[in-house]
Each structure stands twice: as structure tokens, then as C-alpha cells.
Amino acid sequence: MDYQEILERIYKEVKQESDKGILANYIPALAEIDPNKFAIAIHTVDGKDYSVGDADEKFSIQSIAKLFTLTLAIQKFDEDVWERVGKEPSGTAFNSLVQLEYEMGIPRNPFINAGALVITDMITNGVGKAKKEVIEFMRKISNNRNVSYDFEVADSERNTGFKNVALANLVKSFNNLDNIPADVLSVYYHQSAIQMSCVDLSRAAIFLANKGYSPYCDEEILGPRQTKRVNAIMLTSGMYDAIGDFAYRVGLPGKSGVGGGIVAIIPGELSISVWAPGLNPSGNSTLGLRALELFTTYTEQSVF
């Protein structure tokens, strides 16, 4: 299949869409991004790269980072991760807080904020150390020392993130954080502020398409079973409250962020990342979603 040709075809189609979504406005640094940015990048299990648009430009990966901190936590604790975090979709965002109370501080899954805070807590043994470990892991799997924290974005989140402070303290009140909330939040704000390009991102995620082994950095990141399971969690919980819609329209495990990025996996074949800053009401990239939908339609590839 000629992926480059398909990407260019999608690029043309998507560029003509009139609804580009709306920029995330609660983080000043994100609200200033050029809304016309658009990129797709593919990395295949046999090591080929394809891309269109602004695929070498760094953007803020935001919640996509939750996928990689989960990976780190599984490396350390394997199945034990699930003693402190569930693996079920959360239903509406609306229910998240009440669910947390109802289920005694066990967040429904690692991709809602409360769950990601618990995951971050698991990998935090000293704030500086955890920040270093996370960014070094991202550099290794993308094989790019240029991947970095955007400290302005991290500060921005710290200054506006009252809801995340609330969540961290609520989880702590149920004894489901080992560290103090402020420390976990510091690591959390930084991981969300990682900046990397679509090309970096598709390379970084390739282990998820390849039974856990990254040919790109020549290392087994997760075991085959662990990998299959991370993909399962992504498919059932990775797209905020549009899980079913993404499975229905795109049909791949994927994880999105409010920076406008989405990464998705075709097991055995490739990882694909898209970036377009405008969001739909669910918080997913409007054009990114459209691009992925066209991709699985044109290639007739999906897990279903």
C-alpha cells in the first residue's frame, strides 16, 4: 500500500474542511497556536516513515503523555498497576468525581485525569528524578534528544489547574497517592507539557504496534501481553467521552490530547500520529479525527 500517496490525498481533503474545531483556551500557551497547523506521520513496524504537513514541528502532547507514563508504570509494577486504577471506560466526564467517591478513590482508568495522577504517583520517587526519568524515556523511544518539556506550558497548567489540584487531593483523601499531591501534580504538569513532533510520536509509539518491541530504538519496551493490554485500555478509554465514536469511525486503539494530537495503532503494521490544534466538544482534534477516519477507510485497515 502506498502510504505516502494516501497521506497526501487525506491532506488535501482535510485542508478543505470548514469546521476546524476550537483551540483549547484554558491554557494560554495552547490558545496561541496557529489553528492551521496540520500534520500526519506514520512509522511502520519495518521501520519506514511517511508524513505530510507540519510533521517535524513540535507540539504539546498533553494527555497523550498518559500513554507513556502508563507504560513506565507497567514496566515497574506489571499487573499490580490495576490494584490502584481500574480499566473500565468512565461514561460521561460528568460522572468522574462522583465515581471516584463511589468507588472509594480508585479511578476508573489510567486515562482520566484522576487515574493518570495515580499512575504518575506510582512512578514518582522524588520529583526531579521522576521528571528526568519521564523525559529520558520519551527521548529514548523517539530517539531524539530534542524532545523536551515546555516549561511555560507546565507553569501555565500549574496556575490554572485548580480542578487537577482538587482531583489529586480527593484521591489522596482515599489514601491512593503515596506522594504528597503537590509533588505528583508537578510531575503531572510536566509530563503533559512534553513537546515533540508527529514524526517523533509515531516512532515513539511503534512498540505498541509490534508486540512491545521497538525496532526503532532496538529495545523491548513491554512484553507482548502487556502491549496487547495497553492497546485494549486505549481502545476502551483513550478518547475522553468519545470512546465509542472513535471505535465506530476509526476502529483503532488511540490516545488524544488537548494539544490537538492523536496517536493510533494498527497492531502488526504501524503507528500513526496526527496533529491539528482545533478541538471538538469532546476535546479531541477535529481534523485529526477526520484524518484518521479517512485513513482507515482508504486503507481498509482497522482492528474490526
Q: CA separation (Å) from 104 to 170, 179, 240, 244, 277? A: 10, 18, 21, 26, 36
Q: Is residue 156 a contact residue for a second copy (CB under 8 A)?
A: no
Indicate whether 272 belongs to the interface with a second copy (CB under 8 A).
no
Q: How many residues bind a second copy (CB under 8 A)?
A: 53
d(CA 19, CA 3): 25
CB of 57 to a second copy, least distance (A): 30
Report 168-187 residues binding a second copy (CB under 8 A).
168-170, 172-173, 181
Least distance to a second copy, CB of residue 117, Å:
12
Q: How far is Cα 116 from Cα 255, in angstroms, rounded to an integer?
A: 13
* CA-CA-CA-CA dihedral for 202, 205, 207, 212, to nearest 10: -170
Nearest distance from residue 299's CB to a second copy, in Å? 13
- 133 C-beta neighbours (distance < 10 Å), count: 17
Q: Note whether 21 binds a second copy by CB under 8 A.
A: no
Residue placing its CB nearer to a second copy in the complex, 36 or 95: 95
Cell of 297: 477507510
Residue 161: CB atoms within 10 A of its CB come to: 19
Site for a second copy in 56-115 (CB under 8 A): 86-92, 94-95, 97-99, 101-102, 108-109
Burial class (CB within 10 angstroms; exposed 0-12, middle 13-18, buried 19+) of 162: exposed
Return residues touching a second copy (CB under 8 A): 86-92, 94-95, 97-99, 101-102, 108-109, 162-163, 165-170, 172-173, 181, 224-225, 227-229, 231-233, 235-237, 241-245, 247-248, 251, 253, 267, 297, 300, 302-304
